[in-house]
Structure 1
Amino acid sequence: MPHAPARPLRSLLFTPATRPERFAKAAEGGADAVIVDLEDAVAPGDKDAARANALSWLATPAARGGPVRALRVNAVETPAGLADLAALVAGPAEPDVVVLPKVEAAAHLHILDRLLGAGGKRARLVALIESARGLAALEEIARATPRLAGLMFGAADMAADLGAQTAWEPLLAARSRLVAAAALSGIAPIDTPFFDIRDADGLERETRAAAALGFTAKAAIHPAQIGPINAALTPDDAAVAWARRVLAENAKGVGTVDGHMIDEAVARKARHLLTAAGEPVPAA
């Protein structure tokens, strides 16, 4: 992925495309990716101006060492989405990632893949899963195209579609299905934003719970959420040391670390942990 950091993405900050003065600030705020949003953050009457803002910024050279630059377009089956894609394909904008909302079938990604290919765009894709139909087609969606880099969980729309509360427990089964589908295809599972920007403790609890479930990244809606997300999704020194000990012991065959048996399954977990920390991973 162009401009990607050494470690996998942990934090993805949504920024309204109606506020171009915030783009540069968002890119300097420590997020691994900045998502300029043309969908939920933009009123219907502002779509054209927002599109022009976003594509103008994405046509400028990216800062060396800066975050991944992403664009959330409108749904592919909407007039605004068709206008977004037509303008993106025809113009000079070069997002690293295109985030497609309301994905409910592999065909949605096939359409976007072909359009980007016809326009010579290298962008990877992230599919937003936010409906019961999307859940039902998850495995097919996850295998739709080699461009697909991740699946993102959309809690607010999912809760509305299921008639559930927007809380951890009611949406746990849906989250678990998304993590499993992402693992099946070797792509990133990205958790939904935490919507209460004043509740730092709640953000930390939910991010750590998402990490325990298998999510490797979490979206954010405010710059103040980036630090806690990055901290919760970055293994600490003790965890890195444990991973190195596990892999050193595993290289000798089945053994023990801290009294626990070490086999290939534990070694796989240790390799994932080192990757998440941005550390070199010894050859298996």
Structure 2
Amino acid sequence: MSSSLSRSFLFVPANRPERFDKAAASGAHQVILDLEDAVAPAEKEVARGFVAQWSGRADAVVRVNGADSTFFAADMEMMRRAGVAKLMLPKAEPASIERLAASLDGPRHVIALIETVRGYAELRRIGASGLVSQLAFGNLDFGIDSGVTETTQELDPVRLQIALESRLAGLPPPIDGVTTSWTDPAAFGAAVGRAKALGFGAKLCIHPAQVKPVNDAFLPTADEVAWARRVMEAADGARGGAVALDGKMIDAPVIRRAELILSSA
């Protein structure tokens, strides 16, 4: 599946090759092999080898180490040699985007992970760089950098801005950050629902148990699909004339929303 159409992105530590195939079979639309936070410095080199040897590497996303780290050059060299085309850039800021651009030998699908206040402040430059294919929100690191503790909705204004800047840049809907718990379905469902309402189209997952709920949540509900079908039927019957449904006027924005729901379904 195209990364821009994917709804679930499942992290796997790149130093745990026994989990790679399991992650690919989990139903996740994209597997992210994580060379950054999940791998200790002493294990970076061997983890690169595991990524390069995995048969599914061409379809995976690799989260490289930060562009200002001592591991970045080796990560990019491995990706060139192994033919990995999709990468996630942590702590994306204009300077790190420039370093990434200088290290590329050809087109890549680049997911820019917004994890810092500076990255947030420079969203427009990042989106307009011509290098970034999609934005993602690194909510945990952003909370640390900003000093904001997220319990439920404290960072939702940041999410909304990321969604708006994605739209302005002509990028796909962004990817929401992780929810650390997978044992509370109600809380997890509420978090995914808020992200969807704020304009996000996907979510980062840290456990296979989160994959199916994410895949399902970002699809239109049965009620939304039924409403969209009724709108389209009413609009078709009106043949361009004014028409009301359930006491509300159906105009061009309503019809467009119905079309989007049906295409997503």
TM-score, normalised with respect to structure 2: 0.90
Q: CA deviation at 1:4?
A: 2.5
Counterpart mapping for 1:117-128 below 5 A: 118=105, 120=106, 122-128=107-113
Residue 10 in structure 1 maps to residue 12 in structure 2: no
Name the structure 2 match of 1:79.
70
Tell me if 1:157 matches 2:141: yes
Which residue matches 1:37? 34
Q: Secondary structure at the match of 2:5?
A: coil
CA contact (8 A) 1:152 1:190 kept: yes
Aligned pairs (5 A) from 1:177-196 = 177-187=161-171, 188-196=173-181
Displacement after TM superposition at 1:189 (Å)? 0.9
Matched-pair contact (CA < 8 Å) for 1:11–1:32: yes
* Partners of 1:8 and 1:275 within 8 A in 2: no
Find the residue that maps to 1:79 and give its secondary structure.
coil
For the Cα contact (< 8 Å) 1:246–1:267, is it kept in 2?
yes
The alpha-carbon deviation at position 12 of structure 1 amounts to 0.6
User: Alpha-carbon deviation of 1:238?
Assistant: 2.8
Do structure 1's residue 51 and structure 2's residue 48 form an aligned pair?
Answer: yes
Query: Partner of 1:282 in structure 2?
Result: none
Alpha carbons of structure 1 residues 38 and 259: separation in structure 2 relative to 1, 3 Å: same
Q: Deviations over 1:20-75 (max 9, x none)?
A: 01111100111111111101111111111111111222xx3679xxxx52111111
Q: How does 1:193-204 map to 2 (within 5 A)?
A: 193-204=178-189
Q: For 1:211-243, what per-residue CA distance to the aligned partner results, in whole angstroms no more than 9, with x for missing partners?
A: 111111011000000111111111123322322
More off after superposition, 241-250 vs 224-233: 241-250
Q: Secondary structure at the match of 1:169?
A: coil
Q: Does 1:241 align with 2:230?
A: no
Q: Which amino acid in the other structure matches residue 48 of structure 2? A: R
Residue of structure 1 in register with 2:88 after alignment: 99
TM-score (norm 1): 0.85
Residue 247 of structure 2 aligns with which residue?
259
- Structure 1 residues 271, 77: closer, same or farther in 2, change over 3 A? farther
Identity %: 39
| Distance in 1 separating the partners of 2:207 and 2:82 | 28
SS in 2 for 1:170: coil
The code of the aligned residue for 1:77 comes to D
Q: Secondary structure at the match of 1:13?
A: strand
CA distance in 2, matches of 1:111, 1:276: 36
Aligned Cα root-mean-square deviation (Å): 2.1
- Shift of residue 92, structure 1, vs aligned partner: 2.8
Cα distance in 2, alignment partners of residues 148 and 104 from structure 1: 11
Aligned residues of 1:104 and 1:137 also touching (Cα < 8 A): yes
Number of aligned residues: 261
**Structure 1 unmatched runs, 5+:** 278-284
- For 2:53 and 2:246, how far apart are their aligned partners in 1? 55
Secondary structure of 1:144's counterpart equals coil
Partners of 1:264 and 1:52 in 2: CA distance: 53
Could you say which residue in structure 1 is the equivalent of 2:24? 27
Task: Please say if residues 250 and 264 of structure 1, whose CA atoms lie closer than 8 Å, have aligned partners that are also in contact.
Answer: no
CA contact (8 A) 1:56 1:93 kept: no
Gap change, CA 1:62 and 1:228, over 3 Å in 2: same
1:258-277 → structure 2 map (5 Å cutoff): 258-277=246-265
Gaps of 5+ in 2: none
1:34 partner amino acid = V
Whether contact under 8 Å (2:63, 2:87) holds in the other structure is yes
